[in-house]
């Protein structure tokens, strides 16, 4: 009996590792920047810093060197392949849910695909989702222009 329990626990651990993923670099920065505008957990300074990092200008050097953490419980996007104008994403930050539609939802949908999350289709709708998203942005490292400073970990698929 103990042998079966050990095998079962080992299989669960392997299954969890198989769905966990990491994204870094420009795709992670893009995803974090898009999400940050909707996060009720970030302050105005953090949102502004992420916007500046994603659209750099001469003010980049004036940014704080403080790391920024963006945490999202779940993102679920859908778009129709029948009504080609229909697209939306629901972002869950703790107990708060925010829905984005149109161009912004498409931007988020495309960026989620860019970090390696595959989509699934059913009855005229294409779904894409991830959960337990945690992104860490390090402005100091990004300013060095060495390709680092943005990393996201997540589980593919919704909760």
The pLDDT, as a whole number, for residue 132 is: 96
The pLDDT, as a whole number, for residue 129 is: 94
In a domain, 55, yes or no: yes
**Region 116-130 average pLDDT:** 90
Average pLDDT of the chain, as a whole number? 84
In a domain, 16, yes or no: no
Identify whether the C-beta of residue 8 lies closer than 8 Å to the C-beta of residue 16.
no
In a domain, 6, yes or no: no
The total of structural domains in the chain comes to 1
Whole-number Å distance between alpha carbons of 155 and 133: 7
The pLDDT, as a whole number, for residue 100 is: 97
In a domain, 59, yes or no: yes
In a domain, 11, yes or no: no
Asked whether residue 86 carries a pLDDT value surpassing 90, the answer given is yes
Residue 25's nearest CA partner among 118, 130, 111, 131 is: 111
Q: Which ranges in the chain belong to alpha helices (H)?
A: 2-19, 26-36, 44-54, 102-114, 139-143
In a domain, 104, yes or no: yes
For Cα atoms 102, 47, 74, give the angle at the middle one, nearest 5 degrees. Answer: 55
Domain limits at 66? 22-156
In a domain, 54, yes or no: yes
Asked whether residue 62 carries a pLDDT value surpassing 50, the answer given is yes
In a domain, 5, yes or no: no
Asked whether residue 56 carries a pLDDT value surpassing 70, the answer given is no
């Amino acid at each position: 009996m103990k042998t079966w329990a050990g095998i079962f626990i080992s299989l669960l651990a392997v299954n969890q590792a198989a769905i966990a993923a990491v994204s870094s670099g420009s795709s992670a920065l893009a995803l974090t920047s898009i999400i940050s505008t909707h996060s009720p957990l970030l302050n105005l300074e953090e949102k502004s810093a992420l916007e500046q990092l994603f659209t750099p200008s001469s003010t980049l050097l004036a940014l704080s060197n403080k790391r920024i953490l963006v945490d999202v419980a779940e993102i679920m996007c859908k778009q129709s392949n029948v009504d080609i104008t229909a697209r939306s994403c629901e972002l869950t930050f703790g107990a708060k849910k925010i829905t984005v539609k149109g161009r912004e939802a498409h931007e988020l949908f495309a960026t989620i695909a860019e970090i390696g999350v595959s989509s699934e289709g059913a009855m005229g709708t294409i779904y894409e989702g991830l959960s337990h998203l945690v992104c860490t942005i390090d402005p100091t490292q990004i300013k060095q222009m060495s390709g680092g400073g943005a990393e996201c970990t997540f589980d593919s698929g919704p909760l």
